[in-house]
Structures are given as C-alpha cells and as structure tokens.
Amino acid sequence: MSSLPLTGTGRTGDPWPVTSDPGPVPPGSLPLEGITVVALEQAVAAPLATRHLADLGARVIKVERVGEGDFARQYDTAVRGGAGSHFVWLNRGKESVALDLKSASGLEAVKTLIAGADVFLQNLAPGAAARLGLAADDLRADHPELIVVDMSGYGDAGPYRDRKAYDMLVQAESGLISVTGTPDEMTKTGVPTSDIAAGMYALTSVLSALFRRMRTGIGARVAVSMFDATVEWMGHPMYMRLYGGRQIARAGLGHAAIVPYDKYPTQDGTILIGVQNDRGWDTLARVVLERPDLAEDERYRTNVDRVSLRAEVDALIAAETKRFTTDELDRRLADAGVPAAEIRDLEGVVAHPQLSERDRWREVGTEVGPVRAVLPPMTFDDVELAMGPVPALGQHTESVLREFGIEI
C-alpha cells in the first residue's frame, strides 16, 4: 500500500506554472458534499460517472483488486512517463481501497462500506455482483435508502446479456459505426462514445435518485447499459430509417441532411462551414463569399434543393473559399455569424485560447507528480468544483477500513 503526499488543485496558466490559489472551498457549498459513494468499477463508463460525482463534492471510495487494481491503470504509461492516461482522466478525487473480494474478509469489508454509503455503483461482469452477494435487492432489503446503480454492456436480460461489451463492440451493435466514417469506409469514433454515454446516464440517474430520496426517503435500483445509452444517441438516424425508409449515408465530415456542411479548402489549409438554414445560406453567399448570384439562384434556394445537388454546391463553395487564407475566412465567417470552425489537432486544443482566456486549466496531484486537467464542464457561479488528486492503488485502504471499524 502506498502513502504518497499528493497535492491538491491549483490554477495554472501557460506554460503551466501555478499562478494563483483558489483558496479553501467553503464548507457545505459543493453540491454533493456529505454524500458517500462506494464503487466497484473499472475501465471507463463507471469511473467517468463517479469522477463527476467526486468533482461535485461526493466522497467516492473506489474498491480495487489487490495488486492489480482497475485495469485502466495499465492501459498506457503516457502521463509523466508512468501513469495511465485513462486512469488519470477518470479517477481524480477518489479514495482507493484495495481488497480481495474472493476472501471472506474482503467481501465483508465491502459490504460494511456499502452499508455506510448513500450510493453503490458497479460495472462488474454480468451476474458477478449477485454471485458476491451484492445484488441490489439483497443490499436494499437491509438498506432501503441505498441507491444502487448497476452498469452493464447490454443490460441484465436478453440474448446479449452475457456478451463482452467493449466500447468498439457496442458502437457496432448500436449502429453508430454504420453511420460514422466516409462513403467508402466505416469507422468508430475517436473517443469511447458508448462508455461516455453510459457514464453520463449513470451520473444523471444518481443525481435523480438522490433528489427523489430527499423527498421520499427511499433509495432506488437503477440499471444503465452501454447499448441502451448509445442506441438513445442514435435517434435521428433511427427515425430516418423507421419513417424515411432509408439508412442515412456516411458523409465523412459532411452532414447527411444539410448542405453546405463540410470542410472546404483555403489558400493554406481547410475550414469547416456548417450552414443550418436558408438564411445562413443567403449570408454565406452574399456577405462572406460576395456571390449574391448564388443566393439568388433558384436551384440552391432551399436546403432540400442544395442536398439534392450536394456535389455541385460543395464544388461552388470550394472554388470560393480557396480565395482566402484560413484565418481570413474564419474571421469573415465569424463576423457574418455563419457557423464555422478550424480543424485543430490535440496540440491545438491544449493551446486553445478559449481554454486559456477563461482560466480552465488546473493542476491535479498524482503518484507521478502534478498534472494538468481541465475544469469540469459544470461551472457553478459560487463555487469551483473539487478536483482532488488521483489515488495510488490501495493508498487509502488502511485509513478507510479503520474509519469504518473494519479489522485490518
């Protein structure tokens, strides 16, 4: 077990020195202060949900396997040459307790922790929690106020219940891959979309259940699956198939139902332009490109018309955008209120002025040293959300078990 002095948060600027101190958080001002969460979690989906709970002020006790821990710790060693990028992203602000759930004492310790918690969240393999005696019905029989969130790949019933459910596989089964990519090749998304979707719905379910418990005193059992979460996000393509009778075409950076909506060449690169309505088309043609004839051409007057002539319209726009540099065209589009964006790589995102000018970077402690992290997306006017250190494996085992009266 490690006991490492990990630093807390601090405001950072470029090139990342601590420039000011946010000061202590006023007691009681974090939304979930006083809420305790016990998590039997691994990988991405569940840890994402509980990391947000920790950011919001909840105490999150992460139960990990002795010796190995959450296998996301070993995905890579990219962070400061030692820590895994997934783990650092998903596990700040938690306490790590390493237990052997195959032993009677380890399992009894987990049950004691859960008995003292408000929320128990797990994403073990299907049926594993029940085999350990941690089924929601069993736990809530003794603790009706407990909120139990069971996360899975495909749900707790049905023919796919016991299948492996990694992000790529769920993207495939949910139809996401079928609509992602170019006309010639399908692809998955570049981030674990199915994991993230499930994690966000789990977070929402915990907040909703806590609110209901505040009114009724009764807890809840909530089931969240990666498959259901991703299928929910497929709403537009599914309705096109259900009622339009067709599978939407993969359009790369383009849009299956809007034109112009794609990347277009400039003198020194490319830029994305996304016209959402016919008024935007008029502004793009007249003001930005200085081509009023395109705005007045009946063939391109409505979006339906433009979609039917997609290749022709895209070629016309491309011929005009090549007259400008990327910066010049970006300014013209912004000044005219036409939606547009530059395509940034991750180096460009790290240096993005929208992050630096709004002071969105902080420092978070880890066992390999302080690292930069972006503030949570939920911004409260009266308090900055917690961004505690990322725990070493088993760092809090002794202190937490002693606190809960569990024999070490």
pLDDT tens for 244-288 read: 999 988 888 888 889 999 999 999 999 999 998 999 999 999 999
Task: Report the pLDDT averaged over residues 101-111.
Answer: 95
Alpha-carbon dihedral 317, 188, 199, 123, rounded to 10 degrees = 180
Q: How many CA atoms lie within 13 A of 161 on its CB side?
A: 9
Q: So what's the pLDDT on residue 26?
A: 57
| Average pLDDT of the segment spanning 201-219 | 96
- Report the distance separating Cα 226 and Cα 297, nearest Å: 47
The predicted model gives 69-87 an average pLDDT of 91
With residues binned 3-state (H G I as helix, E B as strand, rest as coil), the percentages for the chain, rounded to 5, are 40, 15, 45
pLDDT band of residue 28 (cuts 50, 70, 90) is low
Distance CA 48, CA 196 (A): 7
First to last CA, the chain: 13
Mean pLDDT (the chain, rounded): 91
Structure tokens at 9: 């948060």
Q: In which band, very low, low, confident or very high, does the pLDDT at 27 lie, cut at 50, 70 and 90?
A: low
How is residue 401 written in tokens? 């078990």
* Domain 36-237+361-379+390-404 listed as CATH 3.40.50.10540: yes
Q: What is the pLDDT of residue 249?
A: 86
Whether the predicted pLDDT of 11 surpasses 50: no
Task: Tell how strand 361-364 and strand 10-12 pair up.
Answer: antiparallel
Q: How many CA atoms lie within 13 A of 298 on its CB side?
A: 0
**Token output for 288:** 């930005």
Of 255, 254, 259, the C-alpha closest to 278 is 259
Instruction: Report the percent of the chain where pLDDT is more than 70.
Output: 93
Sorting pLDDT into bands at 50, 70 and 90, what band is 209? Answer: very high
Given this model, what pLDDT does residue 29 score?
85
pLDDT band at 90 (very low <50, low <70, confident <90, very high): very high
pLDDT at residue 67 greater than cutoff 80? yes
State residue 112's pLDDT score.
96
Per-residue pLDDT tens over the stretch 155-182: 999 999 999 999 999 999 999 999 999 9
pLDDT score of 311 more than 70: yes
pLDDT at residue 6 greater than cutoff 80: no
Quote the pLDDT of residue 24: 54
361 phi, psi to nearest 5 deg:
-95, 140
Domain layout of the chain by residue ranges: 36-237+361-379+390-404, 261-342
Q: Residues 208-216: what's their mean pLDDT?
A: 96
User: In this predicted structure, which of 11-20, 29-38, 379-388 has the lowest mean pLDDT?
Assistant: 11-20
In the prediction, which pLDDT does 107 show?
A: 95
Asked whether the predicted pLDDT for residue 18 surpasses 60, the reply is no
Beta-carbon-side half-sphere exposure of residue 108 (alpha carbons within 13 Å): 7
Packing angle between helix 193-216 and helix 45-55, nearest 10 degrees? 50
- Which 8-state DSSP code applies to residue 297? -
In the predicted model, is pLDDT for residue 341 greater than 90? yes
Fold of 261-342: formyl-coa transferase, domain 3 (3.30.1540)
Extract the tokens encoding 371: 């690292």
The token duo for 137 is 């019905």
Instruction: Report the range of poorest mean pLDDT among 19-23, 46-50, 187-191, 360-364.
Output: 19-23
Quick check: 407 pLDDT over 60?
A: yes
Domains 36-237+361-379+390-404 and 261-342 share a fold: no
331-353: average pLDDT: 94
Asked if residue 19 has pLDDT above 60, the reply is no
The residue-averaged pLDDT of 384-402 equals 95
pLDDT band at 390 (very low <50, low <70, confident <90, very high): very high
Distances (CA, A) of 47 to 40, 169, 170, 321, 398: 9, 19, 18, 44, 22
